[in-house]
Amino acid sequence: MTITEKILAAHAGREVVEPGELIEVKLDLLLGNDITAPLAIAEFQKTGAQKVFDPEKVVLIPDHFTPNKDIKSAEQAKILRDFARQQNLHHYYEVGRVGIEHAFLPEQGLVLPGDCVIGADSHTCTYGALGAFSTGVGSTDLAAAMITGETWLKVPATIKVIYYGKLNRWVSSKDLILHLIGDIGVDGALYKTLEFTGETITNLSVDARLTMANMAIEAGAKNGIFPVDEITIEYVQKRAKRDYKVYASDKDAQYYDVREYDVGTLEPQVAFPPLPENVRPVSAASEISLDQVVIGSCTNGRIEDLRIAAEILRGRQVSSNIRLIVIPATQAIYLQALREGLIEIFITAGAAVSTPTCGPCLGGHMGVLAKGERALATTNRNFVGRMGHPESEVYLASPAVAAASAVLGRIVSPVELGL
Amino acid sequence: MAEKSLQGKVWQFGDDINTDLIVPARYLNTSDPQELATHCMEDVDPEFTKKIARGDIIVAGKNFGCGSSREHAPLAIKSAGIACVIAKSFARIFFRNAINIGLPILESQDAIEEIVTGNVVKIDLAAGKIYDLTTGKTYRATQFPPFMEQLIAAGGLMEWIKQKKMHNTVDCQ
Ligand code: SF4
């Protein structure tokens, strides 16, 4: 069996599961945010249910329109707050302590290897980086699971992705996942698991792996997952407050497909609008001028991302045509960046630094685009209207490309800065 | 799902219609179905909600509903009065959400190649049949697994959970 099949079997109380089977699984953690949880809470209340199945396992994170951008979003966030208090939820975090959910949960040790997690947010697949099964669902699924602690799932077949080769300078895990999505398309892994393996992967940090698992959904996958190794264990050991279990794919596990990529000569990648599959090497994008650059989100708002951006921006200035917005994904990352002097580098370079929020990633607030404007972002989606006006454009790339592009005002690799 | 037999005018869309197109995130500071309905498909066709009539049907290509997990997307479609979505394939979270909230959806490979905007289509949900009344052609939709039929018959996930809790008999296998 694959790692995903083993985790699902264990949570279904079964020895074996096979792709295509419909199973019911017990959940270790459930997640909702300020967009999806209000609907879930309404559904929960409609059933007459009094209590969530376990107040330790239901996590509510106000991160999308927070700090509240208007009265309506304030009302939404209040629904979470009131419910969390009424249900005595252990894991509700308020503005000032919270962060973007998919950066925050791993950082706080709330998700651990071997867990089975659902979240009413499509990027819940991020936690696969830790060797957990995690997938996005809708609000009604969340409501039902808050009552029962279980959910139904179809066991996905697994596509194994093997990367080998040593990455060039300025090439990151973001480029690996964009390259894959460019190859297989936005439905290339529909209903399937992406299992990321290979020597290139074994050298990646947990931060870098989280970026890749995060974008599994952008290929339509149910989940993306990594083998657990020493790097994973080192990351979770100092964070875990409960036991966890490590699963690994068998040598003779059955795969739906195996795809191999030699990434030794890969250039930084850029996804052109309006789909994450429109991927080209950065050298094919250098004619594209920009109005805004965003460094942040659950994809690339972690400390390593900020370090790379700061390395490029140190001693340089953001182009006078560009608005650079930097958003550390959590309070802990923000503080760490402050201590390391990264925030000072950003501000000196001419960037706006924001408190943790999803903000511009979904065109919510804190950097919405006007008609005809063009942004490059380290986020995960470049759909029509994603960051604002339907006639604005979003290009996706790594923090390195984002920082360099902010300096030159067009899409470039840091190599063009002589780095 | 509410009615077993549906009939309406078709609105055709292409591949990879994502949840930001179905209901842009800038309107997600509310979860009021009626308000969401007024923005349905706005970024593909700003006039969409003015053109449609209650009972109309969306026909689309592959990977319909890809992108975010927002249940606001099927809710907006349902509240706008669209009776059913037929697509070549659905993104998985949208698929779950539609079934969970009782928005009828059907997968059909050939129907979507031939049925175009303006055609009038009749759907027999129970039989999984699609009749194009404009061209006279009939198509078969892909059958749901029995477990999903149970969910649909119960009227969505929450009703199913209630029944299951009461009788403890519904089996997932
Ligand atoms: S940062 Fe963007 S992709 Fe991530 S949870 Fe927030 S809105 Fe979604």
As for ligand 1, residues whose beta carbon falls within 6 Å of it are A 64, 100-102, 121, 123, 297-298, 358, 361-362, 379-380
In this predicted structure, what is the pLDDT of residue B169?
A: 43
CA A362 to centroid of ligand 1, rounded, Å: 7
Express each pLDDT in A228-281 by its tens digit. 999 999 999 999 999 999 999 999 999 999 999 999 999 999 999 999 999 999
For range A384-403, the mean pLDDT: 97
In this predicted structure, what is the pLDDT of residue A229?
A: 98
For range A6-20, the mean pLDDT: 97
Query: What is the rounded CA–CA span in Å between residue B173 and residue B167?
Result: 16
Predicted model pTM: 0.94
pLDDT at A106 over 90: yes
Express each pLDDT in A24-38 by its tens digit. 999 999 999 999 999
What structural domains and CATH numbers belong to chain A?
Answer: 3-260 (3.30.499.10), 271-417 (3.30.499.10)
In this predicted structure, what is the pLDDT of residue A108?
A: 98
Q: Tens-of-pLDDT digits for all 173 residues of chain B?
A: 444 579 999 999 999 999 999 999 999 999 899 999 999 999 999 999 999 999 999 999 999 999 999 999 999 999 999 999 999 999 999 999 999 998 999 999 889 889 999 999 999 988 889 999 999 999 999 888 888 888 888 888 998 888 876 654 444 33
* Chain A residues within an 8 Å CB radius of B44: 384
Q: Residue A49 — φ and ψ, nearest 5°?
A: -60, 145
CA A104 to centroid of ligand 1, rounded, Å: 12
- Both tokens assigned to A180: 């894959």
Q: Which residues pair with B57 in a beta bridge?
A: B10, B84
Apex B19 CA angle, A127 and B64, nearest 5: 100
CA A360 to centroid of ligand 1, rounded, Å: 9
* Nearest CB neighbour to A72, from listed B29, B89, B97: B29
Query: How many residues are recorded in chain B?
Result: 173
CA-based radius of gyration for chain B = 16
> In three state form, how does the secondary structure of A279-330 look?
EEEHHHCCCCECCEEEECHHHHCCHHHHHHHHHHHCCCCCCCCCEEEECCCE
Contact A386 B25 (CB under 8 A): yes
Instruction: Number of A to B CB contacts under 8 A, please give it.
Output: 142
Taking Cα atoms as reference points, which of B163, B171, B156 lies closest to residue B71? B156
Contact A140 B70 (CB under 8 A): no
In this predicted structure, what is the pLDDT of residue A406?
A: 98
Express each pLDDT in A249-262 by its tens digit. 999 999 999 999 99
Contact A76 B29 (CB under 8 A): yes
State the nearest Cα–Cα gap between A386 and chain B, in angstroms: 7
Express each pLDDT in A351-388 by its tens digit. 999 999 999 999 999 999 999 999 999 999 999 999 99
Burial class (CB in 10 A: 0-12, 13-18, 19+), B156: buried
Contact A190 B92 (CB under 8 A): yes
In this predicted structure, what is the pLDDT of residue B106?
A: 94
Contact A36 B69 (CB under 8 A): yes
Express each pLDDT in A170-221 by its tens digit. 999 999 999 999 999 999 999 999 999 999 999 999 999 999 999 999 999 9
State the nearest Cα–Cα gap between B133 and chain A, in angstroms: 31
CA A315 to centroid of ligand 1, rounded, Å: 30
Q: Is the Cβ–Cβ distance between A362 and B25 less than 8 Å? A: yes
* Chain A residues within an 8 Å CB radius of B162: 47
B134: DSSP letter: T
Closest-CA residue of chain A to B42: A390
Q: What is the ipTM, given to two decimal places?
A: 0.89
Closest-CA residue of chain A to B164: A148
In this predicted structure, what is the pLDDT of residue B5?
A: 74
Burial class (CB in 10 A: 0-12, 13-18, 19+), A75: middle
In this predicted structure, what is the pLDDT of residue B2?
A: 45
Q: Mutate which of A134, A190, A366, A368 to test chain B, going by most B C-beta atoms within 10 A?
A: A190
Virtual torsion, Cα B143, B145, B151, B156, nearest 10 deg: -50
Express each pLDDT in A132-175 by its tens digit. 999 999 999 999 999 999 999 999 999 999 999 999 999 999 99
For range A305-317, the mean pLDDT: 98
In this predicted structure, what is the pLDDT of residue B76?
A: 96
CA A200 to centroid of ligand 1, rounded, Å: 26
Query: What is the rounded CA–CA span in Å between residue A29 and residue A25?
Result: 12
* Chain B residues within an 8 Å CB radius of A23: 172
Domain B5-172 CATH assignment equals 3.50.50.60: no
In this predicted structure, what is the pLDDT of residue B173?
A: 35
Mean pLDDT of chain A: 97
